Amino acid sequence: MKKFTTSVSQETAFTVSQLNRQIQQLLEASLPWILVEGEISNLAKPSSGHWYFSLKDDKAQIRCAMFKGKNAAVRFKPKDGDMVRLRARVTFYGPRGDCQLSVEGMESAGEGALQQAFERLKNNLQAEGLFAPEHKKPLPTKPERIAIITSPVGAAVRDMIIAFRRRFPLTELTILPSLVQGQDAAKNILRQLQRADGSGHFDAIILGRGGGSLEDLWSFNDETLARAIFAANTPIVSAVGHETDFTISDFIADVRAATPTAAAELLSPDRNQLIRQIEQQEKQLVRRMSRILEQCQQQLDFMTKRIRHPKERIEQQQNQLEQLKRRLQQSMQRKVLEQQTQTANLAHRLERNSPTRRIDQDRQKLKDIDARLARALSNTLTNKQTAFARIIDKLNLVSPLNTLARGYAIASKDKQVIRSVKDVEKGDAISVRVQDGIISCDVTDR
């Protein structure tokens, strides 16, 4: 029998820890990142927030761990039996000699094909120009009637209703119930969209639902629905899922809202801001009324200066006008103070009281003032006419004609009054003026 010898005793032997460390280095160096598909089993979710499970197929399985910071990004709730696709690193736990996957990302195994279909439809519609900004319709600034196409139950519709009621409760909301998930959801949404748009009754339409996985949101990636959104005459807001979720309806709608609540905020004016606008308009109205009154006062001043009155009467009228001016200014100041203290109830007061009423009252006051001024002018003119008549009477008393009426006569020669006998000679022709005519005479003696 031949004797064999070995040199094992001359080679360096690994310790178990050295061997496991070598295996770990080789595995992690050769397989840094991998994509692997399989079925979840033995899923455990302890209070630490980490997930521990096995990934298996019909022939093998491997342990997996997905830590809290990573599993928070998973958009669905995994359970035993789910087919998933994992992005993971191969790790080797030396103390136990176990090989496992450290999972960085997880998606439903069906989402890969759905994502490809999503990208393919998105690229086709974008190439046709359906996403172009020039096709987007602007949203109305103060819509009165809004249609909401969504599930009638759930948080999304409740959040939108609450947001509208909080911001602008006058908006008329019409909930058009529809499936938002499942095989017939896209047809339901399409039917309600065509119904709302065809009615011509609504100022805007919201397509909304809460968040979910790509499969949950797939009805909003329907090509027929996308083309109907593009062809709609009514502005459409897409509010599907959470801020990180995107669907075809988001790209083709006129506006994409990050959440259903954000859609409600886009289409509802801020009530507080409207109140501030009303207050500003009130101040502008007061200023305009003040300018109108000032112009009227200036016109009165101008007319007063043009009318020629006795000095005393003019001063009296000017004093009255100054008093009226001060009264008007004080009245306006009081009115402004009252308006400032009542701004909280402005919206209701504007409905009950028209500003034209105050203007009409002020105009009536101006008419009354004009009437009083006209009466005063008339009385002054009458007094002056009476005084003038008295002066005429006084002039008549000293008039030569009145002297002639008492029996006196005026003699003249060559139209010169004869004041002395020296002014005539014997034989001169003279004229004698009496009350009712002229007598021609000859001088026979002097």
- Read out DSSP for 296-307? HHHHHHHHHHHS
Burial label, 414 (beta-carbon count in 10 A; 0-12, 13-18, 19+): exposed
> Are 444 and 426 in contact, with CB atoms under 8 Å apart?
yes
Check whether residue 47 and residue 155 sit in a common domain.
no
State the average pLDDT over residues 203-213.
90
Q: How many whole angstroms separate alpha carbon 57 and alpha carbon 430?
A: 162
Of 245, 269, 293, the domain-final residue: 269
Check whether residue 134 and residue 200 sit in a common domain.
yes
Domain that holds residue 430: 409-443
The reported pLDDT for the residue numbered 110 is 65
Position 206 confidence tier, pLDDT thresholds 50, 70, 90: very high
Query: Please, what sign has the CA dihedral across residues 31, 34, 40, 44?
Result: positive
pLDDT digits (tens, 9 = 90+) for 122-150: 999 999 999 999 999 999 988 999 999 99
> Are 186 and 240 in contact, with CB atoms under 8 Å apart?
no
Check whether residue 99 and residue 137 sit in a common domain.
no
> Are 441 and 409 in contact, with CB atoms under 8 Å apart?
no
Cut 0.75: pTM above it: no
Check whether residue 94 and residue 172 sit in a common domain.
no
pLDDT at residue 5 tops 60: no
Of 248, 269, 290, the domain-final residue: 269
Of 109, 138, 171, the domain-final residue: 109
Q: Looking at per-residue confidence, does 6 or 42 come out higher? A: 42
> Are 149 and 179 in contact, with CB atoms under 8 Å apart?
no
The reported pLDDT for the residue numbered 10 is 58
Q: Looking at per-residue confidence, does 341 or 106 come out higher? A: 106
Check whether residue 205 and residue 259 sit in a common domain.
yes
Instruction: Flag whether 115 is in a domain.
Output: no
Check whether residue 135 and residue 170 sit in a common domain.
yes
Q: Looking at per-residue confidence, does 158 or 277 come out higher? A: 158
Check whether residue 37 and residue 100 sit in a common domain.
yes
pLDDT digits (tens, 9 = 90+) for 362-374: 888 889 898 898 9
> Are 245 and 263 in contact, with CB atoms under 8 Å apart?
no
CATH number of the domain to which 58 belongs: 2.40.50.140
pLDDT digits (tens, 9 = 90+) for 42-75: 999 999 999 999 998 878 889 999 999 889 888 8
Q: Centre a 10 Å sphere on the Cβ of residue 86 and count the other Cβ atoms it contains.
A: 21
Check whether residue 212 and residue 100 sit in a common domain.
no
Q: Is 151 left (phi over 0), alpha (psi -120 to 50) or beta?
A: beta
For all residues of the chain together, what is the average pLDDT? 85
pLDDT at residue 113 tops 70: no
Instruction: Domain count for the chain, please give it.
Output: 3
Would you state the torsion angle of the CA atoms of residues 82, 88, 89, 94, taken in this order, to the nearest 10 degrees? -30
